[in-house]
């Protein structure tokens, strides 16, 4: 499977949740998140995807320069539409294109590192899996009515490892 296909699968999982959550649940502060919401985690994932998309046209990716659009964390339908827009552009991504990725390492210096769109697709995929694991915790604890994909927030290597132990 290519990174673009993996990203599409993750977005489908995300959209499956977004269509089930009312805005009040989506934006509800949760103690497991120290007062953050499920919506804030979805916004975070989305904005990393958007940084990647911007990198396709600019040749630069700066994950620290996200827009932090409050509509993405308060209105699941708006986030859903933005994820759909991202997937519509995904087919145009050139995995071999070189990009400069700017790092935020806690100082005034912002070093950049050479990468490719393909490598960054893998990064945002892994980043999304991590946040989906966190989202899963909040959903299971507070919104048991939400139908959650069995593999939501589980890395492919963990899935393969578990399958190998079952056989």
CB 113 within 8 A of CB 101: yes
Q: Using the CB atoms, write b or e for 62-78: b if 16+ within 10 Å.
A: bbeeeeebeebbbbbeb
Per-residue pLDDT band for 21 (boundaries 50, 70, 90) equals: very high
- pLDDT tens by residue, 122-161: 999 999 999 999 999 999 999 999 999 988 998 887 767 6
Mean pLDDT over 2-13 rounds to 94
At how many degrees (to 10) do helices 3-18 and 117-142 cross?
Answer: 30
pLDDT at residue 58 greater than cutoff 80: yes
Place of tokens 């048991």: 144
Q: Going from the N-terminus, what domains does the chain have, and what CATH number goes with each?
A: 3-166 (1.20.120.450)
Indicate the average pLDDT of the chain. Answer: 93
Predicted pLDDT at 140:
96
Which helix (H) or strand (E) is 163 found in, with range?
Answer: helix 156-166
pLDDT in tens, 26-37: 999 999 999 999
> Does residue 167 surpass a pLDDT of 60?
no
106 has pLDDT over 80? yes
Q: What is the pLDDT of residues 83-105, one digit of tens each?
A: 999 999 999 999 999 999 999 98
pTM, entire model: 0.91
């Amino acid at each position: 499977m290519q990174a673009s296909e993996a990203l599409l699968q993750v977005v489908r999982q995300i959209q499956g949740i977004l269509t089930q959550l009312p805005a009040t649940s989506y934006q509800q502060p949760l103690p497991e998140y120290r007062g953050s919401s499920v919506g804030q985690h979805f916004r975070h994932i989305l904005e990393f995807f958007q940084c990647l998309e911007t990198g396709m046209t600019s040749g630069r990716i700066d994950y620290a320069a996200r827009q932090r659009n409050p509509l993405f964390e308060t209105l699941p339908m708006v986030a859903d539409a933005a994820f759909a827009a991202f997937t519509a552009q995904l087919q145009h991504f050139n995995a071999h294109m070189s990009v400069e990725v700017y790092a935020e390492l806690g100082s005034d210096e912002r070093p950049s590192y050479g990468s490719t769109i393909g490598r960054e697709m893998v990064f945002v995929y892994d980043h999304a899996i991590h946040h989906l694991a966190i989202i899963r915790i909040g959903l299971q604890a507070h919104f048991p009515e939400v139908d959650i994909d069995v593999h939501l927030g589980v890395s492919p290597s963990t899935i393969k490892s578990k399958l190998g132990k079952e056989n």
